Amino acid sequence: MSLNHFDLVMQSTRRSDHAEATSYLFAALRSRTMVDFQSRNRRTRDDERAASETDSASDEPTDGESESSAPDEPETTPEADEPDRGPVAGVAVVTVADDRTVEDDSVGDAVIEALGPHELVTRELLGRDHDGVQGAVDALVNRGDVDGVVTVGGTGTSTRDITVEAVHPLFEKALPGFGELFRQRFYEEVGSDVIAIRAAAGIADGTPVFCLPDSVEGARIGTEEIVVEQVGRLSDRLDEEP
């Protein structure tokens, strides 16, 4: 084989080897690039995990730290959220009606159930008789165990509604704010018809007397939202007077 031919063969071989080497180099570079991305991602996740563990460890109290370093939260008791209802009072409940007995007196029951912490001393059912109602209430306010009287019924506009007329002469002091507040609260239930409800209150012989309508809801609202909070306070105040 001639020298020129040999040179051509060698050059062709070198070109072939060079092409193969180049192909191998590109393949290696591609493989290296994939490995680098995968390694970079893995390192990033590992670093984040390690940082998270470090932060968690730093949040845990050490032996030298005391858990009492956290600010003390004020203790709350159910009593703190309840309104001040004053001293416990002994209450007499009087229903003025001709159409029921004590056993089916749902309005009187509503008052008693709403008395809350106060004590029921006595319960009476009276007919719609002016003198009878006046005499019964007068006797109750003179009892030593009665701190307040609640009547239901006889506060409307009928000629037979005589409770206010019977009780009012016994008042040494009228409490007009009671009727005003009651009608404000009860307006949501009956609307403008509330103007015909003559709820009233006053002090008779040093004892608060509250007159509520012959209505289960009215009796409940008046007792629960006003009487319960005021009967003990008023009675206590009056007892302190010389």
Q: Are 208 and 148 in contact (CB under 8 A)?
A: yes
Query: Does residue 172 share a domain with residue 91?
Result: yes
Same structural domain for residues 109 and 204?
A: yes
Does 69 reside within a domain? no
Write down the pLDDT at residue 38.
40
Give per-residue pLDDT as tens, 107-160: 999 999 999 999 999 999 999 999 999 999 999 999 999 999 999 999 999 999
CATH number at residue 129: 3.40.980.10
Residue 82 counted as domain residue: no
**Same domain membership, residue 33 and residue 103:** no
**Residue from 222, 226, 231, 220 nearest 90 by CA:** 231
Look at residue 87 in the predicted model and tell me its pLDDT.
86
Residue 235 and residue 120 share a domain: yes
142 and 223 in a single domain? The answer is yes
Residue in 225, 94, 228, 91 with CA at minimum distance from that of residue 154? 94
207-212 sheet: strands from edge to edge: 119-126, 90-96, 148-152, 207-212, 200-204, 173-174
| Distances in whole angstroms, Cα of residue 128 to Cα of each of 67, 94, 185, 220 | 70, 12, 27, 22
Q: Residue 154 and residue 211: Cα distance in Å, rounded?
A: 9
Query: Whole-angstrom Cα distance, residue 202 to residue 219?
Result: 17
Q: Could you tell me if residue 68 is inside a domain? A: no
Q: What is the pLDDT of residue 110?
A: 98
Residues 122 and 232 in one domain: yes
Residue 111: which domain range? Answer: 87-240
CA 24 to chain centre: 78
The verdict on 92 and 37 lying in the same domain is no
Residues 47 and 116 in one domain: no
Do 18 and 109 fall within a single domain?
no
Residue 236 has what pLDDT? 81
144 and 210 in one domain? yes
What pLDDT score was predicted for residue 37?
37
Q: Are strands 173-174 and 200-204 parallel, antiparallel or unpaired?
A: antiparallel
Along the 242 residues of the chain, how does pLDDT read in single tens digits?
444 544 544 555 555 555 554 454 444 444 443 434 344 444 444 455 555 555 555 555 555 444 444 455 555 444 445 555 678 999 999 999 999 999 999 999 999 999 999 999 999 999 999 999 999 999 999 999 999 999 999 999 999 999 999 999 999 999 999 999 999 999 999 999 999 999 999 999 999 999 999 999 999 999 999 999 999 999 888 766 65
pLDDT at 51: 53
**Tell me, what's the pLDDT at 78?**
46
110 part of a folded domain: yes
Number of domains the chain contains? 2
Q: Is residue 26 one of the residues assigned to a domain?
A: yes
Residues 91 and 26 in one domain: no
pLDDT at 7: 52
Question: Alpha-carbon distance 206 to 142, whole Å?
Answer: 9
User: Tokens 């306070």 — which residue?
Assistant: 233
> Model's pTM, two decimal places?
0.66
